[in-house]
Amino acid sequence: MSPLRGYQRHEGPPGIRNLVACIHTVECSSFVAEEIAAASPRVHTLGFPGCYSNTYASRMMIALACHPNVGAVLLVSLGCEGTDAGTMAETIRKTGRPVEIVRIQEEGGTERAIRRGKKIVADMLAGLEKTPRLEMSISDLTIGTECGGSDATSGIAANPAVGHAFDMLVDAGATAIIEETLEMVGCAEIVASRGASTQAAEQLRETVRKAEEFSLKADQFSIAAGNHHGGLTTIEEKSMGAFAKCGSAPIRGIIKVAQKPPGHGLYVLDSVPDPSSFLFGYSNPNDSEGILDLISCGAHMVLFTTGRGSVIGSVISPVLKICGNPRTYARMSGDMDVNAGRIVTGEASVVEIGEQIFNAALEVAAGKQTRSEALGHREYCIPYKHQDLCVNA
């Protein structure tokens, strides 16, 4: 395996990619941002569609702009939206990253804004060529996991195999994050028993209880008829099938969206909206939102399991796809990085596929493109939401 050589940042861990983030601060500036980013595959467009500013969304955009995989940032603003590009730029600049703003109204419209943006991005890309490289170890890596397009094979093959890879990564000193606390419903005590400390256990219990209350309010609770048909008897069984992705390491604590884990080891990301005076926000409106939550917490890459077949990637961090259904893999192998369907067909054990995922993750950290990266997938989704930050993270 090639040694890990990361991109040095002024603060925080090194990156495994060296990108320019081109961020639209409202939907009205998204077209201009996309046109600017079309200049190079190393420029990733992302942003927030809302005109009314949202603390959660601004925090998310800043966290993504300051991600280890990002070396420079261009903010593309219309000029009259609620999100203040100037304040955002100040915060990002403090991390030592070059930041520029293009304000479309001030610039004189679409064509001038695109022309100026392209010039800025070209200079930024040239600057990134000089980013110092440094040796990285597994303990510098943060890895997230998520599932989508699940089927009966997910809980048997892909999720337990990722769980084994997570155990190997955590043993080697990495930081690991699992999300989807809504998929821990019914398992509050089981999840709490994994806490590394009494405090962590209490945090986990409260977080799963919050997810249970939210799921009842949002009517997202319970196990569907299709799940029963697929062999799942109880909500605990369904939840544990998803939870299997995080392996067996002790859980250090809870983090919220856009918060970095305070140390190494395994953490649970709570992306469920907190109760507020104005109730809005779904927990994970789609898979891309969930993936971006993990990336906003510093995940260098995301291990994504599927059974029915998903094709998505993400902006900022590579998404490595593990498919547990052998028939889906045969049909969609061009989108998949690891075939965990071999567990179902009896050709490989969970441990063997887990080791394969671990090795694949290190290759991706060393620069190898995932299938979704090579295909040019750049999905993102930042919705309106309300969340209070954890005090001790």
Partner 1 sequence: MQQKARALRINLRDNVAIALEDIPAGVGVLIEGLDGKVVIALHSIPFAHKIALSSVKRGEPILKYGVPIAFALADIPIGAWIHEHNAKSYYEARRAGEIP
Nearer to partner 1, 230 or 265 (CB): 230
Compute the CA torsion angle 89, 294, 206, 285 (nearest 10 deg). 90
b/e 172-204 (16+ beta carbons within 10 angstroms → b) = eebbbbbbbbbbbbbbbeebbebbbeeebbebb
What does the alpha-carbon distance between residue 325 and residue 322 come to, in Å, rounded to a whole number?
9
Kindly tell me which residue out of 61, 114, 343, 364 binds partner 1, with binding defined by CB under 8 A: 343
How many chain residues interact with partner 1 (CB under 8 A)?
Answer: 26
First and final C-alpha spacing in the chain? 34
Q: Classify residue 8 as exposed, middle or buried by CB count within 10 Å of its CB (0-12, 13-18, 19+).
A: middle
Q: What sign results for the dihedral spanned by CA atoms 174, 175, 179, 181?
A: positive
Of 65, 70, 257, 344, which lies in the binding site for partner 1, with binding defined by CB under 8 A?
344
* Least CB distance to partner 1 at residue 345 (A): 8
190 binds partner 1 (CB under 8 A): yes
Minimum Å gap between C-beta 346 and partner 1 is 6
Instruction: At 274, list the tokens.
Output: 């907190």
> Toward partner 1, which CB reaches closer, 234 or 392?
234
Candidate segments 57-65, 297-305, 343-351, 360-368, binder of partner 1 by CB under 8 A: 343-351
Q: How far is the CB of 186 from partner 1 (least distance, A)?
A: 4
Closest CB to partner 1 among 55 and 234? 234
200-259 residues in contact with partner 1 (CB under 8 A) are 228, 230-231, 233-237, 240-241, 243-244
Nearest Cα neighbor of 87 from 68, 67, 59, 120 is: 59
19-24 sheet: strands from edge to edge: 43-47, 19-24, 70-77, 99-103
- Looking at beta carbons only, is 67 or 238 nearer to partner 1? 238
Task: Please pick, from the candidates 15, 160, 261, 298, the single residue that binds partner 1 as defined by CB under 8 A.
Answer: 160
Tokens (6 digits) for 133: 């490289």
In whole angstroms, the minimum distance from the beta carbon of 164 to partner 1 comes to 11
Q: Which residues bind partner 1 (CB under 8 A)?
A: 152-153, 156, 160, 185-187, 190, 228, 230-231, 233-237, 240-241, 243-244, 343-346, 349-350
